């Protein structure tokens, strides 16, 4: 028997059927933390499952017609596998393994996760340098996830709280925190909070004040609190707030269940137009000054910015909030301060933004519980 599922992106240009052997469900699967996955998506971890055959047109459940992939961009950095993402909204849909000829689908793009996928182990945790989000995803559905440093076959694990201090210590004191996508078309640096960091105004994100249960006037931040600067209320803040989002928009524009953002004033995000040029403040509005290779998706709500070559999510912003950016933490140069960059970012542990919208509830609850265990 075959189970047919729909996979789709946010903008609606891509909808596919994929087939799974019903007897194989739920598929026991990894969460991958490798540098290649993180930097080509902007996520802290990615989640793909293998399916039968190739992507199919969604005309009918029993259609066996291979799908038209012309609205997807292919990115193949290694010759081993091709990543396919939506050219319009950046959602990663497929991971095609060339040699063994099989296809995997990004789980966040699926209409359903329950009964389909069971995340039972972490792989390539060593690439994160500090354990990354694997430290926050400890137990899924009562099952404790082992943390493999490389592929499953190697069988070597690291304990919770593992860090590669040798790597971190070498670059710990750099004055800026670097970010880059897999193909390096998009790279930028972040500076420490300055006087300019307190100038933007922003309503509270759902991460801090859940919109569904908070009075709307309070969400608007009437006291103009600079909630993104940390420690909160410090005279001289040194860090930025970071947190995870499980909203439908993030899920369907990335293809994955958990999008991790750092809230950083635009004044603190610097780019160099060419190597050797002195860096300038990131400008996303003026066509002539936007980083080359950055593609915009204006899908409500707000504007998502991603690398047109490798598909990595870089920023989210909106007209109302153009001087405070959501920066995709998966692009952080993990060799500097570890992937969680805790010398720069203060992670919100009490809540995941819009966690009620999660489709893969088991995974998102696992992150929420793992975060609370750190409080
Ligand atoms: Zn799309
Ligand atoms: Zn990977
Ligand atoms: Zn790129
Ligand atoms: Zn979101």
Are both 83 and 184 inside the same structural domain? Answer: no
| Nearest C-alpha neighbor of 150 from the set 132, 172, 124 | 124
Cα of 357 from ligand 4 centre, angstroms: 10
Whether the link from the prior residue into 231 is cis, omega within 30° of 0, is yes
Are both 279 and 344 inside the same structural domain? Answer: yes
Are both 139 and 226 inside the same structural domain? Answer: no
Cα of 146 from ligand 4 centre, angstroms: 28
pLDDT, one tens digit for every residue, the chain (375 residues): 999 999 999 999 999 999 999 999 999 999 999 999 999 999 999 999 999 999 999 987 778 999 999 999 999 988 899 999 999 999 999 999 999 999 999 999 999 999 999 999 999 999 999 999 999 999 999 999 999 999 999 999 999 999 998 888 877 778 999 999 999 999 999 999 999 999 999 999 999 999 899 999 999 999 999 999 999 999 999 999 999 999 999 999 999 999 999 999 999 999 987 767 789 999 999 999 999 999 999 987 899 999 999 999 999 999 988 999 999 999 999 999 999 999 999 999 999 999 999 999 999 999 999 999 887
Question: How many Cα atoms within 13 Å fall on the side-chain side of residue 164?
Answer: 19
Are both 149 and 188 inside the same structural domain? Answer: no
- Please name which ligand lies nearest the alpha carbon of 92: 1
CB count within 10 Å of CB 50 equals 16
DSSP of 154-173: G--B--TT---HHHHHHHTT
- Please name which ligand lies nearest the alpha carbon of 252: 1
Are both 212 and 310 inside the same structural domain? Answer: yes
Instruction: Give the DSSP letter of residue 193.
Output: P
Are both 201 and 274 inside the same structural domain? Answer: yes
Residues spanned by the domain of 244: 170-374
Domain termination site, one of 104, 120, 154: 154
Quote the CA–CA distance of 132 and 158 in Å, as a whole number: 12
Strand 345-347 relative to strand 239-245: parallel, antiparallel, unpaired? parallel
- Please name which ligand lies nearest the alpha carbon of 104: 2
Cα of 9 from ligand 1 centre, angstroms: 4
Are both 129 and 79 inside the same structural domain? Answer: yes
The reply to whether 164 falls in a domain is: no
- Work out how many domains the chain is built from and give that number: 2
- Please name which ligand lies nearest the alpha carbon of 180: 3
Are both 144 and 193 inside the same structural domain? Answer: no
Cα of 176 from ligand 2 centre, angstroms: 26
CATH number for the domain that contains residue 82: 3.90.1590.10
Are both 240 and 94 inside the same structural domain? Answer: no
Cα of 210 from ligand 2 centre, angstroms: 32
Are both 143 and 190 inside the same structural domain? Answer: no
Domain termination site, one of 103, 122, 154: 154
The reply to whether 159 falls in a domain is: no
Are both 328 and 264 inside the same structural domain? Answer: yes
What residues have their beta carbon closer than 5 A to ion ligand 3? 181, 183, 185, 307, 309-310
């Amino acid at each position: 028997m075959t189970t047919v599922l729909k996979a789709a992106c946010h903008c609606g240009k891509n909808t596919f059927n994929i087939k799974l052997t019903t007897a194989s469900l739920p598929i026991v699967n990894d969460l991958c933390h490798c540098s290649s996955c993180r930097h080509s998506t902007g996520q802290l971890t990615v989640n793909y499952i293998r399916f039968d055959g190739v992507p199919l047109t969604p005309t009918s459940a029993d259609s066996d017609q291979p799908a038209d992939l012309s609205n997807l961009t292919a990115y193949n950095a290694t010759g081993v596998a091709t990543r396919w993402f939506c050219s319009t909204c950046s959602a990663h849909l497929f991971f095609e393994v060339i040699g063994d000829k099989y296809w995997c689908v990004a789980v966040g793009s699926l209409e359903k996760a329950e009964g389909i996928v069971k995340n039972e182990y972490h792989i390539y945790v060593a690439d994160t340098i500090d354990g990354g989000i694997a430290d926050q995803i400890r137990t899924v559905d009562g099952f404790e996830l082992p943390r493999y440093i490389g592929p499953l076959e190697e069988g070597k694990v690291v304990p919770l709280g593992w860090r590669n201090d040798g790597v971190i210590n070498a670059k710990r004191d750099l004055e800026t925190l670097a970010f880059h996508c897999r193909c390096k078309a998009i790279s930028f640096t972040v500076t420490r909070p300055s006087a300019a960091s307190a100038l933007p105004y922003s309503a509270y994100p759902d991460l801090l004040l859940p919109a569904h249960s908070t009075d709307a006037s309070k969400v608007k931040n009437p006291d103009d609190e600079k909630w993104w600067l940390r420690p909160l209320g410090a005279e001289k803040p040194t860090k930025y707030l970071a947190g995870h989002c499980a909203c439908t928009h993030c899920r369907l524009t990335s293809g994955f269940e958990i999008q991790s953002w750092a809230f950083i004033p635009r004044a603190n995000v610097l780019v160099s137009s060419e190597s050797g040029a002195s860096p300038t403040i990131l400008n996303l509005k003026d066509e002539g000054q936007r980083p080359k290779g950055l593609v915009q998706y204006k899908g409500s709500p707000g504007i998502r910015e991603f690398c047109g070559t490798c598909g990595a999510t870089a920023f989210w912003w909106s007209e109302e909030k153009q001087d405070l950016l959501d920066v995709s933490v998966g692009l952080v140069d993990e060799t500097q301060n570890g992937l969680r960059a805790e010398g720069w970012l203060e992670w919100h542990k009490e809540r995941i933004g819009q966690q009620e919208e999660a489709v893969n509830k088991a995974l998102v609850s696992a992150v929420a519980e793992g975060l609370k265990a750190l409080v």
